[in-house]
């Protein structure tokens, strides 16, 4: 997958762009249109560079390619998320939002001549191979990303069944890791739910697509219908790179009784907005823990920030990615588009998380759970002693099911323990208020 985390779609601005007549520049309301003032000497320098490349570059260069490169350069110099999209890339954006494409299932962003992994998508080739958030893709099929940075993103996609080899730098490790992956049809399922233990639900959001809000409500309702009384829930936003703003608002609307979810602030009136939740908490006020990490970005941070600011949830994990800017896709007459940063977003308390991230209420360290080897048994148990009394058991009861992932996922186990503490504290508080 491409840089899906960079897309936060403002409905008003997107609609204005779609309805505007085709133009060679992004549509901007006339009332706020800014004059373009280019000094003659700057224009002459630009033309001189184009002429020098056209006449002297080692291989012939098409004029259209030169101009598209110039446009891409203008946008790339603004910030890491603004970019020029060709018609093919725009088509891929649509696939990303809808969640169906051929590739590896990996969210990346270009940083200093490498592709930095924001997050692998759950149950994708990338995730199954063990690629992690924060990994840096240095080379694809033996060719350095820095040598073909403009094409590197496209190399991650391809026909299902085709293979690709990634060379990855992980943290401070000196030796590069090699992963040979087979592309698949990625049907990204953004919502997963299950029971961790009786009464304790696990709600996993891997990204925010157009239908995530509806899917979230449907799956939570089904889980409650199948599993009985709900004591509390863990909302897992780890390695969630973000996506569509409206989907994040809809998820918050399902978990809040009301109030502001997020505010956007930009230079255009259509980029300013306040998004709020209506009444009705899908969990009926049950305690909620939100899990985040360094791979939680954009729309995932909107959800975590809103639930934290409204004191609806306890946020547990690591500081999030810190992407607090808003992008919109503005179409061009050529069939392509520009992805332009149009606003910053703010949590309900007015906090900008740009380059700051969401700070968890409980910060967790990097710990891996492993089963302890009990070793040789030195002291015998009562059952091994000769002549011990036989046990008399009450009527047999079935063991309570417990999710196996709790034995290996430290953060998830810690979140469940925190959730149980919240349930106990609420019960004791209710009894004390009696």
Hey, which residues are catalytic here?
A: 298, 309, 323
Bridge partners of residue 194, in order along the sequence? 202
Instruction: State how far the Cα of 83 lies from the Cα of 8, in Å rounded to an integer.
Output: 14
* Of 190, 212, 213, nearest in space to 124 by CA: 190
Bridge partners of residue 107, in order along the sequence? 119
Pairing of strands 114-120, 143-144: unpaired
Pairing of strands 362-363, 314-317: parallel
CA angle centred on 153, ends 150 and 157, rounded to 5°: 135
Report residue 164: phi and psi, to 5°: -150, 145
Report residue 402: phi and psi, to 5°: -135, 135
SS3 284: coil
C-alpha pair distances (Å), 379 with each of 144, 201, 220, 374, 382 = 60, 40, 48, 12, 10
Q: How is residue 91 annotated by DSSP?
A: H
Bridge partners of residue 337, in order along the sequence? 85, 331
CA angle centred on 131, ends 129 and 132, rounded to 5°: 145
Instruction: State how far the Cα of 14 lies from the Cα of 264, in Å rounded to an integer.
Output: 14
CB 338 within 8 A of CB 75: yes
Q: Which residues have C-beta within 8 Å of that of residue 368, sequence separation ≥ 6?
A: 408, 410
Q: Per this entry, what is the length of the chain?
A: 434
Question: Which tokens belong to 339?
Answer: 């992805």
């Amino acid at each position: 997958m491409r840089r899906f985390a960079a897309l936060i779609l403002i409905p008003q601005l997107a609609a204005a762009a779609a309805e505007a007549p085709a133009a060679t520049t992004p549509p901007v309301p006339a009332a706020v249109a800014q004059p373009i003032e280019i000094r003659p000497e700057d224009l002459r320098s630009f033309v001189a560079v184009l002429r020098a490349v056209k006449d002297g570059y080692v291989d012939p260069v098409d004029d259209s390619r030169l101009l598209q490169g110039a446009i891409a350069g203008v946008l790339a110099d603004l910030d890491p998320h603004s970019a020029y999209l060709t018609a093919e890339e725009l088509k891929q954006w649509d696939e990303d939002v809808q969640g169906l494409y051929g590739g590896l299932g990996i969210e990346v962003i270009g940083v200093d001549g490498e592709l930095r992994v924001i997050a692998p998508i759950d149950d994708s080739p990338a995730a199954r191979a063990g690629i992690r958030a924060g990994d840096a893709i240095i080379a694809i099929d033996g060719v350095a990303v820095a040598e073909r940075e403009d094409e590197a993103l496209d190399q991650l996609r391809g026909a299902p069944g085709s293979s690709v080899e990634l060379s990855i730098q992980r943290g401070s490790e000196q030796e590069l890791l090699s992963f040979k992956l087979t592309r698949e049809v990625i049907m990204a399922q953004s919502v997963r739910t299950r029971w961790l233990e009786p009464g304790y639900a696990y709600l996993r959001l891997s990204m925010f697509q157009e239908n995530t809000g509806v899917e979230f409500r449907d799956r939570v309702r089904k889980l409650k219908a199948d599993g009985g009384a709900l004591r509390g829930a863990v909302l897992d936003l780890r390695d969630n790179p973000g996506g569509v703003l409206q989907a994040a608002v809809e998820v918050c609307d399902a978990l809040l009784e009301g109030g502001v979810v997020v505010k956007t602030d930009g230079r255009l009136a259509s980029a300013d907005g306040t998004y709020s939740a209506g009444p009705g908490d899908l969990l009926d006020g049950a305690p909620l823990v939100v899990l985040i990490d360094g791979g939680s970005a954009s729309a995932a941070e909107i959800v975590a920030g809103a639930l934290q600011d409204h004191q609806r949830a306890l946020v547990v994990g690591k500081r999030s990615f810190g992407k607090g800017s808003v992008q919109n896709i503005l179409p061009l007459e050529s069939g392509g588009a520009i992805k332009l940063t149009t606003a910053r977003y703010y949590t309900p308390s007015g906090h900008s998380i740009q380059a700051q991230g969401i700070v968890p209420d409980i910060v967790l360290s990097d710990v891996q759970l492993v089963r302890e080897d009990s070793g040789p048994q030195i002291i015998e148990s009562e059952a091994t002693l000769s002549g011990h009394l036989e046990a008399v058991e009450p009527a047999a009861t079935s063991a309570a099911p417990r999710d196996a992932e709790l034995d290996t996922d430290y953060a998830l186990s810690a979140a469940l323990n925190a959730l149980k503490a919240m349930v106990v504290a609420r019960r004791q508080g209710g009894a004390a208020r009696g």
